[in-house]
Amino acid sequence: MRLALIGTGRMGTPIAARLRDAGHQLVVYDLEPEARQRMAAAGYEVAADAAAAAAGAAAVLLSLPDAAAVKAVVRELPQVELLIDLTSSLPSVTRALGRRMVDAPVSGGVAGAEAGTLTAMVGGEVSDLEAARPILEAFASHIFHAGPSGSGHAAKALNNALSAVALSATSEAVAIGRYAGHRPEGVVKRLNAGIGRTQNSEVKFPRDILTGAYSSGFGAGLMLKDVGIATALAAERQIPIPLVALVGQLWTLVPGEEDFTRVYEVVAGWGGSPGSVRCDLDHFDLAVAATCWLAARETVGVAEAEGLQRDRFLEIVNAGSGRSEATLHFESGLGFGPRQAVRALDAVRAVAAAGRHAVPVLALAAELWRRC
């Protein structure tokens, strides 16, 4: 199949390799001359511009920085049989393009693209998804139909917002654990044995944070962009999501080019007094779980307003980086109520106060639970 890929950056390049290895006839284009030269040196057919790349293609894939870039490129394109937008973009932009297309943002990072194990969250008509599926399967091993046009973008942004909240809350809990005599490894182990377990505590803390590797392959700037999309969606729908919004502010403190797991270093640097107070690890577990549950409630509300079915959205999240015990058991609950949540969060905040250590995410969660 003759395909065009526009955008050969960190994600586009390994996706191009997967498409070529799958036997597709591929022509590529990138706005940056250096990228075009690099792809030509690697043996790819490189077009002079986006329109030339799209000419005669059965489908055109976009892997671009943002919604503005998508709009600019699509204006240059002729009518094509199918447009597949892999960009983390805005649902409203996709819906306004007026093209036969699917929005299919992916998660799994560069490593997932290289291995062909990305997760694609697809918005659009089922028939268009089925037309795109043989192409997506070259680099994505998990393909979910999120719902109507724009739903893929919404699902991707909201999933990453959940991941950001979980990583932030877990970072605060692990960072202040020392004031209660708990080593970081001990806090993570307790979370992973309890209701505070998340994809971040299971994967990123042992692999990327506790080792000091900080090598998840996902940049802090990309996380900030996705959380920004989530907050923009909520604003359009006039849905308050204070916890996600606060976490978005936190990510502005991490240099965009750094790995997003380095948010832990930022959080860990907010205190350091030698004060201490006793606090059982059960409180840390419940505090993180209660925070993740609030974030799940916020994002489910936005997802449903964007036209996603609740169960479908949670299925996507639970297969991805936004997974937590709160999302896995969102309907049945985790066996605690507001009183227990506030008690645990206040106990953990007392630990932070002993170390004069800021925990803004856990503190806001405590205030939100008081209102329940």
pLDDT at position 276: 75
Contacts of 249 (CB under 8 A, 6+ apart): none
CB atoms within 10 A of CB 335: 10
pLDDT for residue 215 is more than 70: yes
Q: Are 27 and 85 in contact (CB under 8 A)?
A: no
Per-residue pLDDT, averaged over 77-101, amounts to 94
The CA distance from 201 to 233, in Å, is 27
Would you call 53 exposed, middle or buried from its count of C-beta atoms within 10 A (0-12, 13-18, 19+)?
A: buried
CATH number of 2-149: 3.40.50.720
Active site annotation includes 204:
no
Model pLDDT for residues 99-147, shown as the tens digit of each residue = 999 999 998 888 889 999 999 999 999 999 999 999 999 999 999 999 9
CA atoms 77, 110, 166, 336: torsion sign: positive
Q: Which residues contact 238 (CB under 8 A, 6 or more apart)?
A: none
- 129 three-state secondary structure: helix
What lies within 8 Å, CB to CB, of 209 at 6+ separation is 171, 174, 261, 264
What average pLDDT does range 5-18 have in this prediction? 96
Average pLDDT over residues 304-321: 94
Q: Where in the chain is the domain with CATH 3.40.50.720?
A: 2-149
Helical (H) or strand (E) element with 266: helix 263-268
**What's CA 55's distance to the chain center, in Å?**
33
Indicate the range of 58-62, 186-190, 274-278 predicted with least confidence: 274-278
Instruction: Determine which one of 71, 156, 204, 225 is catalytic.
Output: 156
Strands 106-107, 118-123: pairing is: antiparallel
For 223-243, the pLDDT digits (tens) are 999 999 999 999 999 999 999
The pLDDT value recorded for residue 275 is 67
> Could you give the CA distance from residue 99 to residue 149 in angstroms, rounded to a whole number?
11
Q: Mention every residue, 6+ apart, whose C-beta is less than 8 A from residue 29.
A: 4, 5, 6, 8, 36, 46, 47, 48, 49, 50, 52, 53
pTM, whole model, 2 decimals? 0.93
Region(s) of the chain under CATH 1.10.1040.10:
154-370
CATH number for region 154-370: 1.10.1040.10
With both helix axes pointing from N to C terminus, report the angle between 360-370 and 242-251 in degrees, rounded to the nearest 10.
170
**What is the pLDDT, as a whole number, of residue 274?**
64
pLDDT tens digit sequence for 331-359: 999 999 999 999 999 999 999 998 899 99
Instruction: Give the integer Cα–Cα distance in Å for 196 and 42.
Output: 46
